[in-house]
């Protein structure tokens, strides 16, 4: 049961809830090219807290965009990275729940549960193969025990939250994603297989799973890591998830979800080729890339709008540790790359825009500057109506940037 979530889906976070229409237009364009992609508006509890918004605002924004654009296909509202402590606020307005259980990884688990898990996976002891690959995935009793000690608490936690949502929303009224991406160590394809097995054993029925992939997924910039290793691992993950769906009778169409997925330009051709080769779906989440386009649009507008975003940058520079701290595992800023206050204050629109816009081979492009501005949405939120008023005054130039970024730099290389 995939509900309204199609084979291909794309998460569009919108921190200030002003770009819904411009975010939806690229999906309409993709449809004209013959590719159906389900838009999913995602916003995490953490983002709501930072900008002072409420979960229902995401649904309102989506509904307005749907109406204005005349979108007749499905769309979903993702309660992103929720847990039992904060899910209540999202129940009424969301139909996609990203159940984040990364915090359960490494937590001890009782011997009974471990035994039960080993018993459940007995058929795969000695190794297993999956259709589409010659490889034998090695699995023995010790590996099962080690995996259970590491992941079983997180899987039980997923069950607890899933059951809670199921009771409140009712079957068929929501879809669930299980995410374990916010950890340092990547999960292997065998671990992904066992995550699927554990979820199936406990009756959890996800439609997407977000593991931690190999390499660094930094916010708003390209992937850092070995592309060949990523490609090999990603293909094994696709095959494993397809096989696990079959043998554990998980929801048909179960697919991988890529978090911090925006701007991973070097990965998109690899992912595109592999999902088509194996005829499997994909979900990819973005959020900050739209906020960065808002800053680009304001800089392009010039005048007081340019001064506003310069001020936001300068303040972010002064509050570097506070703003980058919460994102330490997903940023890689070379401080020497960051322009000084006096330098930026002299920049014209063009210089500011070219330093920020993600055109990797542009001589002015500055990934450190871009990553720091990624974290500066907190500063913009503090500006209140001064900032949102500027978004409204310059909506046309901002919107053009938002749509072009999603369509040309994301959707086309990833899905078309
Ligand atoms: Zn995540």
Q: What is the pLDDT of residue 292?
A: 98
Cα 44 to ligand 1 centre (Å): 9
DSSP letter at 40? E
What's the 6 CA to ligand 1 centre distance in angstroms?
20
H-type alpha helices, 248-356: 268-277, 288-301, 303-318, 320-324, 341-346, 349-356
Determine the distance separating the centroid of ligand 1 and the alpha carbon of 212, expressed in angstroms. 9
Res 43 pLDDT > 60: yes
- What separation in Å is there between the alpha carbon of 330 and the centre of ligand 1? 10
Rounded to an integer, what distance in angstroms lies between the CA atom of residue 79 and that of residue 92? 10
Using the mean position of ligand 1's atoms as its centre, give its distance from the Cα of residue 82 in Å.
Answer: 10
CA of 182 to the centre of ligand 1 (A): 6
Where is 11: in which H helix or E strand? strand 8-12
What is the C-alpha separation between 311 and 345, in angstroms, rounded? 8
How far apart are the CA of 99 and the centre of ligand 1, in A?
A: 10
Number of neighbouring beta carbons within 10 Å of residue 272: 16
Distance from Cα 123 to the centre of ligand 1, integer Å: 32
CB atoms within 10 A of CB 321: 8
Residue linked to tokens 């200030």: 16
Instruction: Output DSSP code: residue 77.
Output: E
State the distance from the centre of ligand 1 to the C-alpha of 343, rounded, in angstroms.
35
Q: What is the pLDDT of residue 15?
A: 96
User: Helix 189-201 vs helix 227-247: angle between axes, to the nearest 10 degrees?
Assistant: 30
**What gap in Å lies between CA 7 and CA 4, rounded to an integer?**
10
For the residues 341-366, what does the mean pLDDT come to?
98
Structure tokens at 77: 């509202």
Task: Point out which residues pair with 128 in neighbouring strands.
Answer: 137
CA of 151 to the centre of ligand 1 (A): 17
Residue 141 · residue 114 · CB < 8 Å:
no
Quick: pLDDT tens for 142-193: 999 999 999 999 999 999 999 999 999 999 999 999 999 989 899 999 999 9
Give residue 355 CA to ligand 1 midpoint distance, Å. 27
- Where does residue 69 fall: left (phi above 0), alpha (psi -120 to 50 degrees), or beta otherwise? alpha
Neighbours of 356 (CB within 10 A): 23
Does the pLDDT at position 283 exceed 70?
yes
For the segment 227-240, what is each residue's pLDDT rounded down to a tens digit?
999 999 999 999 99
Q: What is the DSSP letter of 76?
A: E
**Cα–Cα separations (whole angstroms), residue 322 to 68, 136, 262, 315, 345:** 39, 47, 23, 11, 22
Sign of the dihedral defined by the CA atoms of residues 372, 377, 382, 387, in that order: positive
Distance in Å, CA 39 to ligand 1 centroid: 17
pTM comes to 0.96
Distance 100 CA to ligand 1 centre (A): 8
Question: Helices 395-404 & 385-393, crossing angle to 10 degrees?
Answer: 80
Task: Give 141 Cα–ligand 1 centroid separation in angstroms.
Answer: 30
CA of 260 to the centre of ligand 1 (A): 7
> What is the 258 CA–ligand 1 centroid distance (Å)?
8
Cα of 381 vs centre of ligand 1, distance in Å, is 22
Domains of the chain, CATH where assigned: 8-288 (3.20.20.70), 289-410 (no CATH)
Q: How far is the CA of 369 from the centre of ligand 1 (A)?
A: 23
Q: 262 CA to middle of ligand 1, Å?
A: 12
Task: State in Å: Cα 125 to ligand 1 middle.
Answer: 31
Evaluate if residue 1 carries a pLDDT over 50.
no
Cα of 267 to ligand 1 centre, how many Å? 17
Find, among 357, 364, 372, the residue nearest to 313 by Cα.
Answer: 372
Q: Looking at residue 329, what is its pLDDT?
A: 82
Cβ atoms of 133 and 233 closer than 8 Å: no
How many Cα atoms are found within 13 Å in the side-chain-facing hemisphere of 235?
Answer: 16
User: Which residues have a Cβ under 8 Å from the Cβ of 320 and sit 6 or more positions away?
Assistant: 335, 372
Q: Are strands 136-137 and 128-129 parallel, antiparallel or unpaired?
A: antiparallel
Nearest to 173 by CA among 96, 99, 245, 250: 96
- Whole-number Å distance, alpha carbon 181 to ligand 1 midpoint, is 5
DSSP β-bridge partners for residue 297:
none
Q: What integer best gives the mean pLDDT of the chain?
A: 97
Where residue 3 falls among pLDDT bands split at 50, 70, 90?
low
CA of 350 to the centre of ligand 1 (A): 33
From the list 37, 39, 47, the residue with the least C-alpha distance to 17 is 47
Calculate what percentage of the chain has a pLDDT beyond 70. Answer: 99
Instruction: Tell me, in angstroms, the distance from the centre of ligand 1 to residue 230's CA.
Output: 18
Q: Tell how far the Cα of 253 is from the centroid of ligand 1, in angstroms.
A: 21
Whole-Å CA distances, 249 to 101, 201, 204: 22, 10, 11
How close is the Cα of 297 to the center of ligand 1, in Å?
27
pLDDT at 2 over 60: no
How far does residue 326's CA lie from ligand 1's centre (Å)? 13
Q: What is the largest CA-CA distance in the chain?
A: 68
Torsion over CA: 240, 246, 250, 253 (sign): positive
Q: Residue 5, Cα to own-chain centre: how many angstroms?
A: 15
Please give the distance, rounded to the nearest whole angstrom, from the Cα atom of residue 314 to the centre of ligand 1.
Answer: 28
Q: How far is the CA of 78 from the centre of ligand 1 (A)?
A: 12
Helix-strand-coil split of the chain, %, nearest 5: 55, 10, 35
User: Which of 182, 241, 208, 219 lies closest to 78 in space, CA to CA?
Assistant: 208
Q: What is the pLDDT of residues 361-392, one digit of tens each?
A: 999 999 999 999 999 999 999 999 999 999 99
CB count, 10 Å around CB of 305? 21
């Amino acid at each position: 049961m995939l509900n309204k979530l199609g084979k291909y889906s794309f998460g569009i976070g919108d921190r200030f809830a002003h770009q819904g229409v411009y975010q939806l237009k690229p999906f309409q364009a993709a449809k004209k090219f013959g590719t159906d992609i389900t838009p999913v508006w995602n916003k995490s509890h953490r983002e709501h807290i930072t900008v002072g918004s409420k979960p229902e605002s995401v649904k309102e924004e989506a509904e307005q965009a749907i109406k204005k654009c005349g979108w007749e296909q499905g769309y979903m509202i993702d309660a992103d990275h929720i847990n039992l402590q904060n899910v209540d606020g999202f129940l009424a307005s969301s139909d996609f729940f990203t159940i984040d259980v990364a915090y359960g990884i490494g937590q001890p688990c009782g011997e009974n549960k471990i035994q039960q898990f080993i018993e459940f996976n007995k058929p795969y002891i000695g190794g297993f193969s999956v259709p589409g690959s010659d490889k034998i995935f090695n699995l023995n009793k010790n590996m099962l025990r080690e995996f259970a000690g590491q992941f079983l608490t997180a899987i039980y936690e997923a069950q607890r939250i899933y059951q809670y949502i199921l009771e409140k929303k009712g079957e068929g009224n929501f879809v669930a994603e299980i995410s374990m991406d916010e950890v340092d160590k990547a999960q292997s394809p065998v671990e992904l297989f066992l995550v699927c097995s554990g979820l199936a054993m406990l009756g959890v029925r996800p439609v997407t799973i977000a593991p931690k992939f190999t390499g660094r997924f930094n916010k708003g910039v390209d992937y850092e890591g070995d592309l060949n290793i990523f490609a090999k691992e990603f293909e094994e993950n696709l095959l494993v998830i397809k096989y696990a769906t079959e043998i554990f009778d998980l929801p048909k169409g179960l697919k991988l979800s890529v978090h911090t997925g925006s701007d991973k330009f070097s990965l998109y051709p690899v992912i595109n080729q592999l999902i088509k080769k194996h005829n499997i779906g994909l979900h990819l989440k973005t959020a900050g890339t739209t906020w960065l386009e808002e800053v680009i649009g304001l800089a392009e507008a010039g005048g007081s709008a340019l001064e506003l975003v310069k001020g936001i940058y300068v303040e972010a520079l002064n509050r570097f540790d506070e703003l980058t701290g919460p994102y330490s595992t997903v940023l890689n800023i070379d401080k020497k790359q960051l322009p000084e206050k006096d330098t930026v204050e002299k920049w014209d629109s063009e210089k500011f825009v070219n330093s920020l816009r993600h055109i990797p081979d542009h001589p002015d492009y500055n990934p450190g500057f871009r990553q720091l501005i990624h974290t500066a949405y907190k500063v913009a939120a503090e500006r209140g109506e001064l900032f949102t008023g500027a978004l409204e005054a310059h909506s046309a130039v901002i919107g053009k940037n938002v749509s072009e970024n999603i369509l040309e730099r994301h959707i086309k290389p990833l899905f078309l």
